[in-house]
Amino acid sequence: MAERARKSFRAPDQVVELPLLRARLVELGELTLAIEVVEPGWRWSEHVRPQVGGEWCRVHHVGVVLSGRLGIRFPDGTEVVYGPEDVFDVPPGHDGYTVGDEPCAQLTWAGNRPFFASFLLGSASRVLATLLFTDLVDSTATAARLGDLRWRELLARHFQGVRAELERYGGREVKTTGDGLLATFDGPGQALRCAAAIGRIASRDGLAVRAGVHVGEVEIVGEDLRGVAVHEAQRIMAAAGPGEILVSELTRALALASGLEFEDRGAHVLKGLEGERRLAAYVSEEEAAAR
């Protein structure tokens, strides 16, 4: 089930104020929405270009005009004017401006992050993080077998136990992902031990968890994380079998210093990522001791 979210422009995640332009930004998953108000006399080439450079705006904008009028001029001299309730899809390579003596208010949902990136230096930072993705195996079939009520109760109990283990091992929950979650840790050892503990509590309820652990650089945007490393960690998790914890080669190298054990799983092609990735399966300390 997709996670439900509610935010308001009355409490935006970011506010950008530029000459004759004010924008309120809201982060909603991978989407950045903005309500922008440009005052009479505003023009991209006069008020934005001096700070970002380039002859034309290179951002693709999609949105709707709420009030006022927005003008767009293209390199061939063509001009288009959008009024209230007009939906616009403006390709890269243009100059934008306010038409008339009334401010133009727009709701935009594409192009916001690249457009405002130069003015949001303090809003996002890149850090090296250990990422843990978990997912319940065959959750749809299990839910169908148990029924909605019993499944919701079981899932709630599972997440209660997961969050207790996160607290125990110093993890920070970023978000739930349907029947799993994404969390960050200070190091791979804590993440791997936490993943093993999550697997144990799931097995007590007759469930199986697959997990992936990866160390990489991520961008912190509000309460969320973005970047290739996030996608890679999720793909590593997706390659794991029931009850298996897979790690990237870098994660394995860093964790070996803590005396942890792994089994090589060979090279994998991860969906959406170029080249092969060598993966390994974590052998928990309990499993190692039983051998």
pLDDT digits (tens, 9 = 90+) for 6-48: 789 999 988 888 889 999 998 876 678 999 999 999 999 998 8
Are residues 248 and 236 in contact, defined by beta-carbon separation less than 8 angstroms? yes
Question: Exposed/middle/buried for 122, CB within 10 Å: 0-12, 13-18, 19+?
Answer: exposed
pLDDT of residue 124: 52
pLDDT of residue 271: 84
Q: How far is CA 142 from CA 146, 148, 219, in A?
A: 6, 10, 35
Are residues 92 and 44 in contact, defined by beta-carbon separation less than 8 angstroms? no
Query: Which residue ranges make up each domain of the chain?
Result: 14-119, 124-290
- As a residue count, the chain comes to 291
Opening angle at CA 274, ends 121 and 1, nearest 5: 70
pLDDT digits (tens, 9 = 90+) for 173-197: 988 887 899 999 989 999 999 999 9
pLDDT of residue 222: 61
Please list, in sequence order, all residues whose beta carbon lies within 8 angstroms of the beta carbon of residue 167, skipping any fewer than 6 positions away.
Answer: none
Superfamily of domain 14-119: Jelly Rolls (2.60.120.10)
79: closest CA among 53, 97, 100? 97
The CATH number assigned to the domain with range 124-290 reads 3.30.70.1230
Which residues of the chain are under the pLDDT cut of 50? 1-2, 121-123
